[in-house]
Amino acid sequence: MSATLNAAVATAAAATVDPACAEPLAVLGRDVTVPLVTGGEVTYAALDYAASAPALQRVWDDVAAYAPYYGSVHRGAGYLSQLSTDLFEQSRVTVAEFLDCRPADQVVFTRSTTDSLNLLAAVLPAGCQVFVFETEHHASLLPWVDAQVTYLNAPRTPAEAVATLERALADRDPYGPALVCVTGASNVTGELWPVKELAAAAHAHGARIVLDAAQLAPHHRVSVQELDVDWVAFSGHKLYAPFGSGVLAGRADWLQEAQPYLAGGGASRKVARREDGGVDVEWHTTAARHEAGSPNVIGVYSIASACKALTEAGFENLVAREQHLIAKVRSGLAEVPAVRILSLFGDDAPRVGVISFVVDGWNSSHFAAALSAEYGIGVRDGLFCAHPLVRTLLGSEPQAQGECGAPEAAPGERSLNAIRVSFGAGTPDEHVERFVRAVRELVADGAKWQYRTEEGRCVSAVSLQGARR
């Protein structure tokens, strides 16, 4: 793990404030109740933060206060348009400060991490070589279709990750452009990757590096300058900011030299007809070059609001409290012999609040359905858009079919899937305590309800509407 992130975890662990006494940040949905198939209702335990985190109350309040003043950005002379433009551009400054960008870096607003990495893939120089570990989320594994891609095998230690990359880079064409793509924290195991060391290896071999911070930015401070990455990408909806916006921030040259990601209004600076009937276009050289169309002002502002809220809360405090929750979950699961936690780097690897596991005798879809229907706990099951990684971690172990819910497997393949629990700044202790208790009870006593397979998913045999009656 990078020295920067390692120091952050160590500092948080040594914090003088008792994390068990710290209050979670206020998020929407914290008081929502859901019906149980066994009768009654319970406060919903949202433990699927790695997919989409609930919106911070602060973000929602900021957006609600702005909404009456919403206007068209960059093109309007009216007061509301000018106000919205100022808000949009100030949000860009806020994000740059949140990421500790270099003065010349550009912050481009996109739809998501996936969109950000596809944008970067679209602007790669001709002949660019891309190096990516098979352990990546599909958002950072798949966009490089027009480049020469080298997929690196899953490492089993951070040091092996660095050594694997160095060997691959040493064998590349030393005269052409190259890019390394790496996650900051795994969306499957939660483990932190040695970003700073990988960046140093990339730069030593004349390559650039992009950091997929989708799972890192909501949990740890991310400094572009300290990690020495060339670009960073993340999504608002994982950073407690809904409304479908993302960020690609970093070096401007490849972005400025490439054709716009999307052609249209906003990206163009000047358009003129030619005598031959065609058009000549002069494109912007600012971030607007890749932000064609009317931008998602509310989504962008929500990201800026979340950046401010997390910064003001203090990542040291947030990390300390999260480590407290991680310890609760991991120690609780360790007491259940049927449970195996998935890991690349081992039990002692620093991690964020993302934990995947399998349960002997259970299909993961069936187990997740029982957690939801009988305990009001929302987790995720499957391969988590990281199929090569999960298959590597589960490759030698067949999945029990259970009563239902085993996803269709290809001919000759076993059905493989896992359960993922994830949490963050808005998670109260009771949610993870209920989760651990539910795991123990399901393993010991089995499900209390009947389940069936419906369109490849395991669902309760009685509808939730029926359960309310």
d(CA 422, CA 82): 40
* 288-291 LR contacts (CB < 8 Å, sep 24+): 288/74, 289/255, 289/256, 289/260, 290/108, 290/110, 290/119, 290/123, 290/255, 290/260, 290/261, 290/262, 291/108, 291/109, 291/266, 291/267
Looking at residue 402, its pLDDT comes to 44
Contact partners, residue 87, CB within 8 Å, separation at least 6 = 66, 297, 301
- Given a cut of 50, whether residue 466 has pLDDT beyond it is no
DSSP 456: T
Among residues 378, 405, 385, 396, which one has the least CA distance to residue 461?
405
Q: Indicate the helix (H) or strand (E) that contains 366.
A: helix 364-375
The pLDDT tens digits of the residues spanning 56-82 come to 999 999 999 999 999 989 878 899 999
The pLDDT tens digits of the residues spanning 219-231 come to 999 999 999 999 9
- Given a cut of 90, whether residue 453 has pLDDT beyond it is no
Which strands sit side by side in the sheet containing 418-422, from one edge to the other? 339-341, 354-359, 418-422, 380-382
d(CA 333, CA 437): 9
Residue position matching structure tokens 């160095």: 166
pTM of the predicted protein model: 0.91
- Token reading at 137: 């989320």
Confidence of residue 21 (pLDDT cuts 50, 70, 90): low
Q: Is 367 helix (H, G, I), strand (E, B) or coil?
A: helix
Q: Indicate the helix (H) or strand (E) that contains 422.
A: strand 418-422
440 and 379 Cβ atoms separated by less than 8 Å: no
Q: Indicate the helix (H) or strand (E) that contains 341.
A: strand 339-341
Average pLDDT over residues 261-273: 91
- Given a cut of 90, whether residue 11 has pLDDT beyond it is no
d(CA 210, CA 117): 9
| Rg value, the chain, Cα | 23
d(CA 469, CA 467): 5
Residue position matching structure tokens 């206020």: 26
The pLDDT tens digits of the residues spanning 303-327 come to 999 999 999 999 999 999 999 999 9
Give catalytic residues, as residue numbers: 385
- Token reading at 204: 């030593």
Among residues 434, 430, 402, which one has the least CA distance to residue 415?
402
d(CA 249, CA 109): 8
Q: Which residues pair with 238 in a beta bridge?
A: none
